[in-house]
Amino acid sequence: MPTPVDTRWIDRDMSLLAFNARVLHWAQKPDVPLLERLRYLCIVSSNLDEFFEVRAALYTSLAKPKADLSAIDAQAQEALSLVAHSLVATQYTLYNDVLLPAFAKEGIRVVSHSERTLAQQRWVKSFFEREVRPLLLPVGLDPAHPFPQVANKSLNFIVRLSGHDAFGRENEIAIVKVPRSLPRFIRLPEKLSGKRTLFVSISSVIRSHLKDLFPGRTVGDFSQFRVTRHSDLSVDEEDVKNLRTALRQGLDHRNYGQAVRLEVSAGCAESLSDMLLRQFELPTSALYRVHGPVNLVRLNQLIDLVDQPKWLFPSYEPSFPQQLAPNTPIFEQLQAGDVLIHQPYESFDGVLAFLREAVNDPDVLAIKQTIYRTGSDSALMELLRQAVQRGKEVTVVVELKARFDEEANINWAEKLEYIGAQVVYGVVGLKTHAKMLLVSRREGRSICRYAHLSTGNYNPKTARLYTDMSYLTRDPKITQDIEAVFGLLANQSRIPRLNKLILAPFALQRSLIELVDKTAKAAAAGVTSRIILKMNTLTDEKLMEALVRAGQAGVAVDLIVRGACMLPAQRVGFTDNIRVRSIIGRFLEHSRVFYFQMGTQETLYLSSADWMSRNMLRRVELAWPVENAVLRQRVVDECLNTYLHDTVDAWTMHPDGHYTQVSPTRSRLAAKTKATLGAQGKLMAMYSAKA
């Protein structure tokens, strides 16, 4: 039986697509630098790829006949398909009618075969013969040559041929697979470009030389195509002896999962698109006819190839964390009080400096750390390797199932294990998403612990692009709690009793509901009460129900939710006191902040967890309090109030779930100077001024 749809909430997948429409708005803004507009277009395409790879197969099987769907499921699937198609159509209209002409105005063009001069055609043919043709092996379909395996998101061509093959047969369909190793865009030499910057796409190069791949045959209808497949790894952890080995084997099959979407050229003949739909067992609604390259994500290459800083955002260099004195040992500074680092306005170098000091300090005995997404080339992981080589006890909890980072994490786990680090993989059936680093240091006759907690990943590259809060402390109760959590992850003996941290999947959801209900109780008693929450996603029904109760009790609830939010805002008689806004800016909003006010009493937690059922019940997550009044007010000012007053990059939700951009309310001075900034712009300016 299908799960009944709760009509109180907004559809999660519709909310995800609405988020991508807000991101696409940045590609549509004429005041955004040209290459950055292209980058936002690519980001939306990448997000949609992941949406189809993960959500489409979970939502309903696209291959399932409508007769097998409930009326509600069928209606929801149709509505979702219409919105997705509309979003993709908007992307290509923007690409063709706005961005390409804007690039052409600046002397940058992607030149099609029909637009190339004879000299350019000769160069492209030479490039094709030298660099491309040796890597192509067209497959003509017949009983001995079935349809080849087509990898997830790979570029391919389907070709209709007339005439007979070498054996006198009329096999009329051929498939050409384009290797991923080939660049998607090639820059023409300056002598062929004049004063312009000209490129050719690999699809155009192959398209214009298809006849050369089939000597003696006539090329008729053809089209590029790309199939997106379900790519969420599924491993029965209870039934495998070695999770790392099982996941590595699963990675080999990820590229060939169930097909969920088919993209073809807009002019693809129906006979060819119908054949592909049958081959991949997809309904017509899964077909996307696109006016341009079937993979807009690869346009990212143009950003690097053009390499023009004037068409990028002005360079922003984060300041070294302002609570840290560069020439004073960090351990000594933490003895005076906790340190808060607001990334990317302050540099991740502060975290690296903390770990580097621990690696080089002879009094440090042990280092424990969780790894979720650290990237394939990480200075932090190199520091852990140095710590092992210096004889320190290093324990690393590596989450092997971090989606699309599985291979990098497996490789790091093997490298660390090889040199003697203790590597564990967390708890069977749960993802370890908590971000924590614990250093044990001998000081006199005792061992003191120092810790780092974060709302984001230990990834130096994304730390320049994501907004996150890092927290350094030697609070004995917090560090004792972290030690207990590491013990739980390593030996799974018992649920630890914690002093200050709140741990999922055991207590986080329940504790947050208790905090919300406590605030509601205060409001019902006439105490001025407020809740402000900042997160990436809000979809957990029990937590949403608690927020509804709080709003109805008189609590003023402000939600700053970047992505999907299923809780409707200001719906009469239901969520009148709940406001929802989303901030989309230069950086990806990633910090999670939970603030509760009852009269003069304030409680604030930072966390690695979004308010989703998976984070509350199927992951190891942490929330920790910020008890220092100065630091707590800093978080409120920078992460909450600044965002609630944003009138540039903010979107507000309406009761039906759709969003509109907040209208800027400019002061007279701002109107004259055009100096109105969004929240991120204000924080960049503030930190630059302080630096």
Length of the chain: 691
Reported as type and span, the H/E element at residue 302 is helix 300-306
Cα 590 from Cα 595, distance rounded (Å): 16
Nearest to 652 by CA among 589, 558, 573: 558
SS3 (DSSP) at 99: helix
Between the alpha carbon of residue 680 and those of residues 34, 457, 483, 546, 632, the distances in Å are 20, 20, 35, 30, 19
441 labelled ligand-binding: no
Q: Is 283 exposed, middle or buried (0-12, 13-18, 19+ CB in 10 A)?
A: middle
Q: Under 8 Å CB-to-CB from 135, ≥6 apart: which residues?
A: 179, 181, 182
Catalytic residue (one of 209, 230, 342, 433): 433
438's enclosing H/E stretch is: strand 435-443
Per DSSP, the three-state class of 175 is: strand
**Alpha-helical segments (H) within 419-540:** 476-491, 508-524
Rg of the chain taking only CA atoms, in angstroms: 27
403 is in an annotated binding site: yes
Amino acid at 218: T
β-pair type (659-661, 556-561):
unpaired
For residue 607, which of 454, 473, 415, 475 has the smallest C-alpha distance?
A: 454
- What are the tokens at 377? 């080339």
Alpha-carbon torsion (638, 640, 646, 649), positive or negative: positive
- For residue 596, the cross-strand partners are 531, 603
CB atoms within 10 A of CB 222: 21
Catalytic annotation present for 433: yes
Query: What H or E segment, with its residue span, contains residue 210?
Result: helix 210-213
180 annotated among ligand-binding-site residues: no
Cis before residue 138, ω within 30 degrees of 0? no
Annotated binding residue 47: yes
Q: Is 562 annotated as a binding residue?
A: yes
- Per DSSP, the three-state class of 595 is strand
The number of angstroms, rounded, from the C-alpha of 486 to the middle of its chain's C-alpha atoms is: 27
Please tell me whether 530 is known to bind a ligand.
no
Q: Is the peptide bond before 505 cis (omega within 30 degrees of 0)?
A: yes
Task: Give binding residues for ATP as ranges.
Answer: 47, 466, 562, 590
Task: Give binding residues as ranges.
Answer: 47, 373, 403, 466, 562, 590
Task: Give binding residues for Mg(2+) as ranges.
Answer: 373, 403
List residues with catalytic annotation: 433
